[in-house]
Chains A and B, each alone.
Chain A
Amino acid sequence: MDFAYTTEQENLRQEVQAFISENVTEEIRTEIEQFGSRQNRGSLTSGLYKKISDMGWIGISWPKEYGGQGGSRIDQYIVEEEFSRIGVQVGGAGSGAPAILAAGTEEQKKYFLPGMISGDISFALGFTEPQGGADLAGLQCRAVRDGDDFVINGQKMYTTAAHYATHVYLMARTDPDAPKHKGISIFLIPMDTPGITVRPLWTIQNEPKAPHKTTYGDDRTNETFFENVRIPASAMLGEENQGWYVGAMGLNLDRVGASRYLLSVRRDEDIINWTKENSLGNYQLTDDPSVTDRLADLWIDGQVCRLMTLRSMSMVERGETFTYEGSAEKIWAPEHGVRTTESVSQMLGLYGQLLNGSEDNIEDGVFAHNLMGAFQSGINHGSVQVMKDQVSRRGLGLPRG
């Protein structure tokens, strides 16, 4: 066992920290606050991404021939961790990149991966459908072969990035007669293909918009309609009817990493550091034993999130495959995130309800918005309940109901 970073890794962390303090200026911070780090990037933020990309820190663990650095997954974790803490996503988590690396053709890898690194290509995930999310394999969106093309008809839900992404990572049914897991294929489709319509769905983080750094602070997601969308067969990722396995593998790897872990635990650090510096009138929270006991409890749970993530990273680094460890992380971290935000609301009491823009709010209402966001992480990208099924079946070999 080795719980330490190497000297090179410690140096990398310092380098990233120095880069951040030098390049992430007050102006950029303000712009990120205003626009968020992901969508509709402001010009300063775009410039920052370019610089980060030039440093070789995006897709650091991806192979060199596709624009990566061929670095270790731990290196990527370090870079992600530092940038996540200032609310900038660089890791490519949820990007579908692991699936493209594993199942893509040479042409696809050469096209998509460098584009994802430069920021010219981004994906919206097209998995969930109106009739079901947990039962993903039951999806009904159809892709029908027509000569060298496929024609797609159907509807996808919660395609959060669809209004700014360049591509959609779509799961569709290519063989309706096969057993449900064996008739699915994956397509990488440009969003500007005719026949794709995006309709906004506004979340509870809208009006007022959540401040930057909120856990699941997206004010908008989408439903996306596909009406006779014609794409060449070369848009398929992996083999026909093998999409379930390609997608499941990619999801498993996308679920782990620094950004997932920090999504759930930054709250612990934030509330502890806030109580160290602030009081509510005469009420000094750090003098209240019921509060400090809870703070320590949350801190310990947060350490478990960190260690579970490092376990996943260690396994990836060893070239081992998860049976349940990625799912375990995706259970513990969201459940912990909920415990934290709910505890924080009881620590702050009446102030805990004040949203962004409100008079007298605390830290732009981030703790109030977190209360509306944290439980979402136990629903999105594979719910906690589905993850528990995976731990039971894949990890423990328990039978299906």
Chain B
Amino acid sequence: MDVLPNEEEQMIRNSAREFFETECPTSLVREMEKSDKGYSEELWSKMSEVGWLSLAIPESYGGSGFGMTTLGIVMSETGRVLAPVPFHSTMTASLAISDFGSDKQKQDILPLVADGNQILTWAFSEEDPRYLPETITTSGELKGDQLVINGTKMFVDNFEASDQVIIVCRTSTEDDPRDGITVCIADTNNSAFTSVPLTTIAKDKQSRVEIRNLSVSKDSIIGEIGKGWPLVSDMLNKSTALLCAQLVGAARKDSEIAIDYAKNRTAFGRPIAAFQSVSHMCADMTIWVDGCELLTFEALWKMDQDLPYSIEVSQAKSFCNEKCLATARTSQVIHGGMGFMMEFDLHLWYRRIAAWTMRLGTTYEHRKKIASALIAHDGPVRLGMNLEAVNI
């Protein structure tokens, strides 16, 4: 038991921090908000050179084989500087391929990801935005050797920038909505896709993707046809935990900017940090982000240990949703009017943190999952126990 980062983890954190702080100034973040692609190709290629893209890819497929904890540490650093790169979506999809793909799928895709030559995304959400199997209505129909897909996917991350997309569709309707889910991977440059950009508070690139008669080979199916839900559930959990890490990094930095500001801004003849109404807000932000960080890394660590982690992920996301946003809001409050002027950088953090709290499960969705597990557990519950999620 030692919940603090060990030496190797600290080294990775330090080198990731140095890299991203050098390579990703806020000017780049602002520039990418206005660009069509929405990400910096230069930063992406530097990330691949340094090895951040290959970090969590198995060694046999050209990666360094680090686990989720380490990936989470780096993801936190990308969140800290709000790195405008499709790192989260690419890692989400490549982890799913790495964990559930066929050997050929892994050979075809993972080395390209590691080298920075393949950007990935994933399409789950539809009109009903909850992360539940019953929300999947996009149809997949097997015709000979081809899977033909029709439907509309919402809030797809970086679709335009991506080379391939993981699609979650329904190949049959069964009593249990978890049955009949199929997952496949497709090239995004197929004319069956129409991508309609959405305007978001993060000013990131999300789209509604309409799919009309997309035909992919049966070999593109990840896992087994009709039995894709466990894969999807796992992908969503890992993606959520990584998003929490990103939130933690961003919220920590946001709080540090406010603490620094409070030390330097004077009012009534003294630094505003000398007022307890302000200093206690600084203490609160610190404690909130600490809590987010501890919950997030416990979840990531459990993934590396092959322990049940679904409830830990929900704990982390639910807490991050509330406390990271509260931190970003508090940082805004400490800054006063200047904090929400476009020319000042602070809103870059607020807008992204706010947007990320709405992705991959709202507070209510995650608490519902936790409550179900607590109630379904046979016998008394106890903090720190391994708790199994219900219906995953």
- Chain A residues within CB distance 8 Å of chain B: 1-6, 9, 74, 265, 268-269, 272-273, 276, 286, 289, 292-293, 295-297, 299-308, 310-311, 313-315, 317-318, 324, 328, 331-332, 385, 388-389, 391-393, 395-401
Partner of A269, one of B263, B302, B383: B383
- Beta-carbon contact of B374 and A295 below 8 Å: yes
Task: A307-B291, A314-B4, A401-B274 given; name 16 further pairs at CB < 8 Å.
Answer: A1-B2, A1-B297, A74-B1, A273-B381, A286-B375, A295-B371, A299-B370, A302-B383, A306-B383, A307-B298, A328-B287, A332-B291, A385-B280, A388-B283, A396-B259, A399-B270
- Of the A-B pairs whose beta carbons lie under 8 Å apart in the complex, a sample of 22, sorted by A's number, is A2-B6, A3-B301, A6-B1, A269-B382, A293-B367, A296-B366, A296-B371, A299-B383, A300-B318, A303-B383, A305-B383, A307-B291, A307-B298, A311-B3, A313-B1, A315-B4, A317-B2, A324-B283, A328-B283, A399-B271, A399-B273, A401-B279
With known contacts A1-B301, A302-B383, A331-B283, A296–B367 Cβ distance under 8 A: yes
Instruction: Tell me the chain B residues, 241-284 only, with Cβ under 8 Å from chain A.
Output: 259, 262-263, 270-271, 273-276, 279-280, 282-284
Asked if B221 CB lies within 8 Å of chain A CBs, one says: no
What's the nearest-Cβ distance from chain A to residue B314, in Å?
A: 8
- Beta-carbon contact of B1 and A310 below 8 Å: yes
- Beta-carbon contact of A398 and B263 below 8 Å: yes
Main secondary structure of the interface of B (DSSP, over half): helix
- Beta-carbon contact of B4 and A401 below 8 Å: no
* Chain A residues, Cβ within 8 Å of B9: 1
- Beta-carbon contact of B4 and A1 below 8 Å: yes
* Chain A residues, Cβ within 8 Å of B380: 269, 273, 276
Docked Cα-Cα span, A385 to B277, in Å, equals 11
Asked if B93 CB lies within 8 Å of chain A CBs, one says: no
Asked if B164 CB lies within 8 Å of chain A CBs, one says: no
With known contacts A304-B291, A307-B291, A331-B287, A296–B374 Cβ distance under 8 A: yes
For B305, the closest partner residue in chain A by CB is A4
* Chain B residues, Cβ within 8 Å of A268: 383
* Chain B residues, Cβ within 8 Å of A296: 318, 366-368, 370-371, 374
Docked Cα-Cα span, A145 to B297, in Å, equals 54
Docked Cα-Cα span, A296 to B364, in Å, equals 10
- Beta-carbon contact of A328 and B286 below 8 Å: yes
Asked if B69 CB lies within 8 Å of chain A CBs, one says: yes
Kindly supply a per-residue 1/0 record for chain B positions 128-162, scoring 1 wherever the CB is within 8 Å of any chain A CB and 0 otherwise.
00000000000000000000000000000000000
For B287, the closest partner residue in chain A by CB is A328
Docked Cα-Cα span, A289 to B369, in Å, equals 12
Partner of B381, one of A6, A272, A396: A272
Docked Cα-Cα span, A315 to B4, in Å, equals 8
Docked Cα-Cα span, A4 to B1, in Å, equals 5
With known contacts A1-B5, A2-B3, A399-B273, A304–B319 Cβ distance under 8 A: yes
Asked if B384 CB lies within 8 Å of chain A CBs, one says: yes
For A310, the closest partner residue in chain B by CB is B3
- Beta-carbon contact of A308 and B301 below 8 Å: no
Main secondary structure of the interface of A (DSSP, over half): helix
What's the nearest-Cβ distance from chain B to residue A230, in Å?
A: 42
Docked Cα-Cα span, A396 to B380, in Å, equals 40
For B364, the closest partner residue in chain A by CB is A293
Partner of B315, one of A269, A300, A310: A300
What's the nearest-Cβ distance from chain B to residue A349, in Å?
A: 19
What's the nearest-Cβ distance from chain B to residue A390, in Å?
A: 8
With known contacts A1-B5, A314-B2, A398–B274 Cβ distance under 8 A: yes
Partner of A300, one of B271, B280, B370, B384: B370
Docked Cα-Cα span, A306 to B383, in Å, equals 8
- Beta-carbon contact of A401 and B275 below 8 Å: yes
Question: What 6 A-B pairs have minimum CB-CB distances, sorted nearest first?
Answer: A307-B294, A296-B367, A392-B279, A292-B371, A391-B283, A296-B370
For B73, the closest partner residue in chain A by CB is A1
- Beta-carbon contact of A269 and B381 below 8 Å: yes
Partner of A392, one of B283, B301, B370: B283
* Chain A residues, Cβ within 8 Å of B274: 398-401
Asked if B295 CB lies within 8 Å of chain A CBs, one says: yes
- Beta-carbon contact of A392 and B280 below 8 Å: yes
* Chain A residues, Cβ within 8 Å of B284: 388
Docked Cα-Cα span, A324 to B263, in Å, equals 18
What's the nearest-Cβ distance from chain A to residue B280, in Å?
A: 4
- Beta-carbon contact of B2 and A324 below 8 Å: no
What's the nearest-Cβ distance from chain A to residue B313, in Å?
A: 12
Asked if B127 CB lies within 8 Å of chain A CBs, one says: no
Asked if B290 CB lies within 8 Å of chain A CBs, one says: yes
Docked Cα-Cα span, A272 to B6, in Å, equals 35
Interface centre among A286, A299, A331, A389 (most CB of B within 10 A): A299
* Chain A residues, Cβ within 8 Å of B297: 1, 3
- Beta-carbon contact of A292 and B368 below 8 Å: yes
What's the nearest-Cβ distance from chain B to residue A117, in Å?
A: 24
Interface centre among A6, A300, A301 (most CB of B within 10 A): A300
* Chain B residues, Cβ within 8 Å of A397: 263
For A287, the closest partner residue in chain B by CB is B375
- Beta-carbon contact of A392 and B318 below 8 Å: no
Partner of A307, one of B3, B270, B366, B375: B3
